[in-house]
Structure 1
Amino acid sequence: MVSTMTNFFDARREFALPGGVYNATPSRVIFGAGSLARVADAVEAYGAKRAVVISTPGRSGLAQRVADLLGDRCCGIIPEAVSQVPIELAIRGRGLAADLKADCIVSAGGGASVGLGKGIALEYAKPIVAIPTTYSGSEMTGFCGITIDGVKRMHKSLNMLASTVIYDPELSVGLPVDVSMASAMNALAHCVDAIYVSTVSPLIVGSAYEGAAVLAKAMPRVAASPGDVGARTDLLYGAFLGGAALTGGFALQHGVAHVLGGSFGIAHGLSHALVLPHVAAYNARHAPREMKRLADAMGVDNVGAALFDLMVGVGLPASLKEVGFDRGNIERAAQITVETDNGLNPGPVTIEGVRALLEDAYAGRRPA
């Protein structure tokens, strides 16, 4: 880890960070088994007296548990979160929160719950207490992909940066293995996509290298023993580091994955998992030094191939074809990716390049 950071600083003696939401992390993080019990203290720390709890319909039981822990400080539950944060739902959520006179937002669950909490806070600015139960890492950032007219568009605001994040690995023990592994690949995607963007702080980039190493080792352990709280703790710790890395910015990997999820309905974690090896292989040609350091941190020779093998080894699908993606949509997906590109990828983002990596992802070709 020390040598990786030293090499990175050698390469970044000159840098200009954009400020704002970039590289900003929550001011308070509570990590450890059983830490959910501290949610009332977290809300009270902001003087809040009317916290609204956000969840998906499937995690309404957890939402009620959180509400019970909050007691009189809870003003209601909004169990309506869905993946990809449709703008219509974000607007409805803001209205419901306002009607409840909520002065704090508590998001409990996976990326959908965290995302809806952010979508509400974007314009209904209140403190956010995030309680993630998956490994998406988005709870660490002020970024949020909101789907508008069938296209997932990235929004950035300090209003969406959580004030407190509570990481309780016990809450993820019951998460199905396939969902856990897809979510963990999402966390790995944060680590990979952050190391070569110009907006990442030298103080943050080390999280990407360490997070990738921790996640790659923890994923097979959780796949083999889903009830192992120690393995789950390591996986959640890696996701926390990946979330911190994500605050530095993101590039092509997230661009492609968000298109597959927002425009073509592929589950969020899988959309990241299925393209990550191929984007890593593509960017290895354009950011060889950073990718070599990542390979060293992970203890592998080839990051793209190692990610593909990891994905298959923990039981995830190997191709877009396997999850029902229509090959005829590749051209449109490539077009949307190019149209929504943020300009931070080290290699050119072209129709031809994106089409080629999507063809590889569709066929499930192992990067060479």
Structure 2
Amino acid sequence: MTHDFVHESRPGRVVFAVGAASRLAGEVERLGLRRLIVLCTPEQAELAAELTAPLGDRIAALHPHATPHVPVAVAATAVARSREIGADGCLAIGGGSSIGLAKAIAKDTGLPVVAVPTTYAGSEMTPIWGLTDGGRKTTGRDPRVLPSTVVYDPRLTLTLPTALSVTSGVNALAHAAEALYAPDGSPITALMAAESARALAAALPRVAADPHDLDARSEALYGAWLAGSVLGATTMSLHHKLCHILGGTFDLPHAETHTAVLPHVLAFNLPAAPRARAALRNAFGAGDPAAHLFRLADDLGADMSLKSLGMPADGVDTVVAQALSAPYANPRPVTEHDLRIMLGNALTGSCPTEDT
């Protein structure tokens, strides 16, 4: 077999350990940051204050106003606040909402980002930003938004509710799965994606069985780190396109939407991506990766119906129109008929079978 690929390593420092949050002050010192704006959701303000207390006067402001999908108005307020206090860096504590808000600031100001993830979102490892305006989500790539340092501490995920742990983990798994058939993948990203899928599929049932199992939490976070890394290094395909449309248009919950959609996209794409299918079969220990993933998430309590998540039945037309309006990479061509079948099955939450 001959090889033909381009692989570009992303800059950035990763600190991964149980108790790594205690090293945060040292990591901030290492970067020479003196006036940080701390980004988090309102629900995590107390945690953010606790984690940043050792940084003392290096914290210029706590800004607990992150919201899902990063609305442009929320981003503009955060950018203005960072300028008002003369911030020289952003410290994001939380999941995709908090990290996304820090990226919005970095995109406009060039400030460096330090991320402390508390979910399995993976966005902390990517140069991808996203903003929502008027029911439309726009994404792009900018090296300035890639965090300079990411501090992973599995202890911070112990309080992540079981239901969100499952959907957040499947959200990460989506990054790994699509990286396996990305047009710009490489042997390195393929190895990382396959290991990510293995780790997450093995860890999530253990996390659901015992949310305080630190070894299981560590394995899940490890898988999420790998998933985020390949998300940042490859081009995502149909699954991420659909989820961005669904989230931006109907304000559906991010991780839950990824969980409900992914099995249906895999059932459609994997027959046209034999290497990806083989890798996921091996990672899951199952002959039909799409159906296995659906049953796994369903058994662990995830809601597999987009209708239950808030998507209106007549919303399919809107999603189909948006998905067909802009080209994107995918292992096989996608028609209006294909989209209607996938979205219809995801809307009702029926278990997919591979489209052969």
With the length of structure 2 as denominator, give the TM-score of the two structures.
0.95
| 1:123 aligned counterpart, secondary structure | helix
The one-letter code matched in structure 2 to 1:321 is K
Matched, 1:254 2:244: no
Instruction: Report the CA distance between 1:42 and its aligned residue.
Output: 1.1
Q: Deviations over 1:79-121 (max 9, x none)?
A: 1000001112112211110111111110001110011001110
Q: Deviations over 1:236-284 (max 9, x none)?
A: 1111111111122211110111111111111000110000000000001
CA distance in 2, matches of 1:232, 1:290: 26
CA distance in 1, matches of 2:140, 2:173: 21
Q: Which residue of 1 aligns with 2:169?
A: 184
User: How is 1:282-301 mapped onto 2 (pairs within 5 angstroms)?
Assistant: 282-301=268-287
Matched, 1:243 2:201: no
Q: Which residue of 2 aligns with 1:14?
A: 4
CA distance in 1, matches of 2:185, 2:145: 19
Q: Is the 8 A contact 1:146 1:155 kept in 2?
A: no
Q: Which residue of 1 aligns with 2:303?
A: 317
CA distance in 2, matches of 1:349, 1:325: 21
CA distance in 2, matches of 1:201, 1:80: 38
Q: Which residue of 2 aligns with 1:352?
A: 337
- Of 333, 338, 344, which aligns to 2:319? 333
Q: Deviations over 1:108-150 (max 9, x none)?
A: 0111001100111011111111000000111000012211221
CA distance in 1, matches of 2:227, 2:110: 25
Q: Which residue of 2 aligns with 1:100?
A: 85
Q: Which residue of 1 aligns with 2:255?
A: 269
User: How is 1:28-107 mapped onto 2 (pairs within 5 angstroms)?
Assistant: 28-107=13-92
Q: Deviations over 1:321-353 (max 9, x none)?
A: 222321110111111122244x21111133222
Q: Which residue of 2 aligns with 1:20?
A: none
Matched, 1:363 2:352: no
Instruction: Report the CA distance between 1:26 and its aligned residue.
Output: 4.5
Instruction: Report the CA distance between 1:200 and its aligned residue.
Output: 2.1
Identical aligned residues as a percent: 39
Q: Is the 8 A contact 1:195 1:290 kept in 2?
A: yes
Q: CA RMSD of the aligned region, Å? A: 1.4
The one-letter code matched in structure 1 to 2:256 is L
Q: Is the 8 A contact 2:114 2:147 kept in 1?
A: yes
The one-letter code matched in structure 1 to 2:177 is V
Q: Which residue of 2 aligns with 1:193?
A: 178
| 2:252 aligned counterpart, secondary structure | coil
Q: Deviations over 1:3-52 (max 9, x none)?
A: xxxxxxx46x11246xxxxx543521000111111111111111111111
| 2:115 aligned counterpart, secondary structure | strand
Q: Is the 8 A contact 1:255 1:340 kept in 2?
A: no
The one-letter code matched in structure 2 to 1:85 is V
CA distance in 2, matches of 1:24, 1:78: 32
The one-letter code matched in structure 2 to 1:142 is P
| 1:188 aligned counterpart, secondary structure | helix
Instruction: Report the CA distance between 1:206 and its aligned residue.
Output: 1.1
Q: Deviations over 1:258-313 (max 9, x none)?
A: 11111111100011000000000000122123212221232111111011011101
- Structure 1 residue runs of 5 or longer lacking an equivalent are 1-9, 18-22
| 1:285 aligned counterpart, secondary structure | helix
CA distance in 1, matches of 2:145, 2:185: 19
The one-letter code matched in structure 1 to 2:84 is D
- Of 124, 138, 158, which aligns to 1:139? 124
CA distance in 1, matches of 2:9, 2:50: 30
The one-letter code matched in structure 1 to 2:128 is F
Q: Which residue of 2 aligns with 1:4?
A: none
CA distance in 2, matches of 1:351, 1:238: 34
With the length of structure 1 as denominator, give the TM-score of the two structures.
0.92
